[in-house]
Structure 1
Amino acid sequence: MIKRLIVICITIISSYGFAQQGTASPYSFYGLGSLKFKGTVENRSMGGISVYLDSIHVNLRNPAAYVGKNIEANPFDNESRPVKFTVAGTINELKLESNSSEENANSSTFDYLAVSVPIGKFGFGFGLLPYTSVGYKLDDFNSDDDLEYRYRGEGGTNRVFAGFGYQISNKLSAGIDINYSFGNIQNTAIELEYTPEGELVQFQTRQDSRSDLSGLSLNLGLSYKSKITDKLELSATATYAPESKLNSTNERSYSSILLNQLTGEELVRNTIEEDLESQGLDKTEITIPSRLSLGAGIGQPKLWFVGAEYTMQNTSDFSNPIFNSEISTFENSSQFAIGGFYIPNYNAFSGYFKRVVYRAGFNFGNTGLVIKDESIKEFGISFGLGLPVGNRSLFSNANIGVEYGQRGTTNKNLIKENFLNFNISLSLNSRWFQKRKYD
């Protein structure tokens, strides 16, 4: 049964994830694109909180989770904690609203693939995930309803990571992730010219830009767990990502094109490469701001948990010398999230749904992007289920999550996004280092 679920899950994720772009958001025009990584499906189903760490789920936002230490009674019959494997994908439905029109868009993506291995007081993990995504198609019309500007973009950044965790005491653990980010972003822009009679000029000019990105970054994490009564447990976490740099190798060209007004097809006649080296822009550095998250929660182990998390990032420090927008700037961003879970009876011998994990949460915050002096804000609510699969003693599960939310505003002719995300993942546990009881 579990093998069939693995095949089905990976097939769905790969077929959707590679068939389309990772985003259709017009806000991916700015910065490095839309942030794709928001934690595991378990995190996202609880409003995005990552404060809860246990021995049976991978937590990709806090490297202290690699240790996977539980302070409560060992749920694995006093055997070693299992190796954890997880894979996930998302299908996104998007409704775009302006003051004058509405449009629908959709996208899908592979979310992450990761493995976490606890060994005694140590633990390590590694994996791959898309981090940001660019996928916009923007048309700007003038007062006569003529197309004046056309913008297109695609690409994004991916991240491979390796991390290490250490159990300092029965209550405290720490960890560090080393991330290598890579990818490229491609943008095109056309400013359309018209004759005095309002006819489209035969030849238009298109600007094509490409940036190839790579760089290292760190993520540091702490986790604290302590029993405050016989039944209740307090959890607290902190993560910090220092400011880092992305190396960007850039190229830019200008093409003379014929534009078919009916089909939108662009036929290139000739191209001229811009000399970015003479301007000192062929190789640049992009500043990625520091980020700090603090979380705390309370619950009864294996039954329920409620937590809150606050994240702040110095987004005003973001800089990209190769690309500047006259209508946009960045300010410091923040997000507040609340969520939790409930399990009727995690080890019930009868009644499958008694062992299901029921999750819910919400979040709201400021993305840090400012367009036409309007701060772009976002909020969302989420629900999810953790469905037990496979060997009961290993507590593997398939996770399903739904997120609904809004981003942006229609003020000053901007665009408001209403998004609906369907998330699916497998969180599988296995024993790699198990002693034989009998020869």
Structure 2
Amino acid sequence: MIKKIIVSFGLLFSVASVAQEGTASPYSYYGIGDVRFKGTAENRAMGGLGILNDSIHINLQNPAAYSDLKLTTFSVGGSHSTTNFRTSTSAADATRTTVDYLAFAFPAGKLGFGAGLIPYSSVGYKIRSISADQNVPSRQYTGEGGLNKVYFGAGYKITKNFSLGADANYNFGNVETKNLYSVQDVVLGTRELNTSDLSGFNVNLGLIYSAKINKKYDFVASMTYSPEGKIKSVNERKIATVLILADQDEIVDVEKTIDVANTELKLPSKLSFGAGFGQKSKWFVGGEVTMQKSSDFGNRFDDITNVSYEDAKRFSLGGYFTPDYKSYSSYFKKITYRAGLKYENTGLIVANTAIKDYGVTMGLGLPVGGPFSSLNLGFEYGRRGTTGANLVKEIYGNVFLSLSLSDRWFVKRKYE
């Protein structure tokens, strides 16, 4: 049965991941767009904490955790976001529903393996500025696309306490941005259309140390490191005069291709480390720090101005509590309750202003179909950006959901 469910979700994911627009943020114009992937639903509900090694849940942030899996596990996650955009003079709302990841992992003795597909970043915005003054053109900016990641990973338990692992990632995608300029009572407007085809490889390395304290408590320390990766951006630009219809469709009058250079974007190196303390399957609390060398990042086109980058930092604090996962008398005692806090300096500087992100998270792990599978529900509330310097503040609420199915596969039958 679980295999049929995996096939069905896989087909759905392959369609949805291509068609979806994962963001509505104007900040997604820069670089490779908004980095959407923040971990599994279980991790996101704990403020993005990615240090836990688990026997039945996939950790997509530290590949060393594959070695602790005891059951074959399939996980798919999605989210629905509502964002209020505010400037110093106006406000608007947008909603998005997206598929966030599809992952599969299985144990093999001291080894564990995982593979999957993650829509990593998204570009998606629509901005209009209408002018009735012939000396001031009306402007419309739109963008769509993003970067996807296919990965394969493995983890190995070196000793009873130490595990290491690695993910190999192939990144691919396409981004299209369009700028329209028109003047009142002038029949034709001007359109600039930019497209970028993105591709490249990078790796993620992980290490986990876990030990018992007083034979009762568990201590976990985690570290991941992603060396700098390269993304090749094959760029094209077209300039056209267009007739803009009432429904905002365009009829091209004359179009010309402009020579622009291809660029090479850097996926910045990233280092994460954290630690936590608790009782396995009962409660856990921990913290994590992530540092990214974002100051080395660049844009798809060389003529994008008013933006720069600095090194990014993220702090996560979170944990979980399960009253009694073995309870036969109460379903509510088997529910896992999660919560967390996060703070992030994104590394993006627009108009000499650093873009920062604050959030609070919470969630539930609801057992389904047995003790090893769960439906994970989470909620995140936060804000990013500022209304100062003519920028945009985003106040967002995200509801995210995942289905984690675990079962024993690849068992040799004793009797036929």
TM-score (norm 1): 0.89
CA distance in 2 between partners of 1:263 and 1:325 (Å): 29
Q: Identify which of 248, 251, 256 aligns with 2:233.
A: 248
For structure 1, the 5+ residue unaligned runs are 70-80
Q: Identify which of 284, 292, 295 aligns with 1:305.
A: 284
Q: Is the 2:358–2:384 Cα contact (8 Å) retained in structure 1?
A: yes
Q: Is the 1:83–1:432 Cα contact (8 Å) retained in structure 2?
A: yes
For residue 5 of structure 1, report the CA deviation from its aligned partner. 8.9
For residue 390 of structure 1, report the CA deviation from its aligned partner. 1.4
Q: Does 1:224 align with 2:224?
A: no
Q: Is the 2:31–2:300 Cα contact (8 Å) retained in structure 1?
A: no
Letter in structure 2 aligned against 1:44: R
Q: Does 1:363 align with 2:347?
A: no
Equivalent position SS for 2:38: coil
CA distance in 2 between partners of 1:110 and 1:20 (Å): 8
Residue 77 of structure 2 is matched in structure 1 by: 88
Q: Cα deviations across residues 12-38 of structure 1 (Å, max 9, x unaligned)? A: 989986775211111111111111111
Residue 396 of structure 1 is matched in structure 2 by: 373
CA 1:215–1:12 in 2, change beyond 3 Å: closer, same or farther? closer
CA distance in 1 between partners of 2:81 and 2:148 (Å): 19
CA distance in 2 between partners of 1:274 and 1:11 (Å): 39
Residue 266 of structure 1 is matched in structure 2 by: 250
Equivalent position SS for 1:24: coil
Q: Is the 2:81–2:398 Cα contact (8 Å) retained in structure 1?
A: yes
Residue 76 of structure 1 is matched in structure 2 by: none
Q: How many residues align?
A: 415
Q: Is the 1:17–1:108 Cα contact (8 Å) retained in structure 2?
A: no
Letter in structure 2 aligned against 1:124: F
Q: Identify which of 383, 399, 402 aligns with 1:422.
A: 399
For residue 263 of structure 1, report the CA deviation from its aligned partner. 3.4
For residue 372 of structure 1, report the CA deviation from its aligned partner. 0.6
Q: Does 1:286 align with 2:265?
A: yes
Letter in structure 1 aligned against 2:384: R
Q: Identify which of 348, 354, 358 aligns with 2:327.
A: 348
Q: Cα deviations across residues 298-355 of structure 1 (Å, max 9, x unaligned)? A: 0011110001000010111002362442211111111101000000001111211111
Equivalent position SS for 2:179: strand
Q: Does 1:237 align with 2:230?
A: no
Q: Cα deviations across residues 260-293 of structure 1 (Å, max 9, x unaligned)? A: 4x533322112111133xxxx1x33111110111
Equivalent position SS for 1:187: strand
CA distance in 2 between partners of 1:247 and 1:128 (Å): 20
CA distance in 1 between partners of 2:6 and 2:115 (Å): 20
Letter in structure 1 aligned against 2:169: N
For structure 2, the 5+ residue unaligned runs are none
Equivalent position SS for 1:27: helix
Residue 78 of structure 1 is matched in structure 2 by: none
TM-score (norm 2): 0.93
For residue 202 of structure 1, report the CA deviation from its aligned partner. 2.1
CA RMSD of aligned residues (A): 2.5
CA 1:418–1:68 in 2, change beyond 3 Å: closer, same or farther? same
Q: Cα deviations across residues 155-197 of structure 1 (Å, max 9, x unaligned)? A: 00111000111111101000000000001000111233x4xxx
Equivalent position SS for 2:57: coil
Equivalent position SS for 1:49: coil
CA 1:289–1:221 in 2, change beyond 3 Å: closer, same or farther? same
CA 1:382–1:140 in 2, change beyond 3 Å: closer, same or farther? same
For residue 147 of structure 1, report the CA deviation from its aligned partner. 5.2
Q: Is the 1:45–1:384 Cα contact (8 Å) retained in structure 2?
A: yes
Equivalent position SS for 1:320: coil
Where do residues 113-124 of structure 1 align in structure 2 (5 Å cutoff)?
A: 113-124=102-113
CA 1:244–1:220 in 2, change beyond 3 Å: closer, same or farther? same
Q: Is the 1:18–1:109 Cα contact (8 Å) retained in structure 2?
A: no
Q: Is the 1:234–1:299 Cα contact (8 Å) retained in structure 2?
A: yes
CA distance in 1 between partners of 2:120 and 2:302 (Å): 20
Equivalent position SS for 2:66: helix
Q: Is the 2:2–2:405 Cα contact (8 Å) retained in structure 1?
A: no
Q: Is the 1:23–1:108 Cα contact (8 Å) retained in structure 2?
A: no
Q: Does 1:150 align with 2:140?
A: yes
Residue 57 of structure 1 is matched in structure 2 by: 57
Q: Cα deviations across residues 228-284 of structure 1 (Å, max 9, x unaligned)? A: 222211101000110010112111111111224x533322112111133xxxx1x33
Equivalent position SS for 1:287: strand
Equivalent position SS for 1:65: helix
Letter in structure 2 aligned against 1:112: Y
Q: Is the 1:289–1:315 Cα contact (8 Å) retained in structure 2?
A: yes
Q: Does 1:99 align with 2:88?
A: yes
For residue 437 of structure 1, report the CA deviation from its aligned partner. 6.0
CA 1:147–1:305 in 2, change beyond 3 Å: closer, same or farther? farther
Q: Does 1:189 align with 2:179?
A: yes
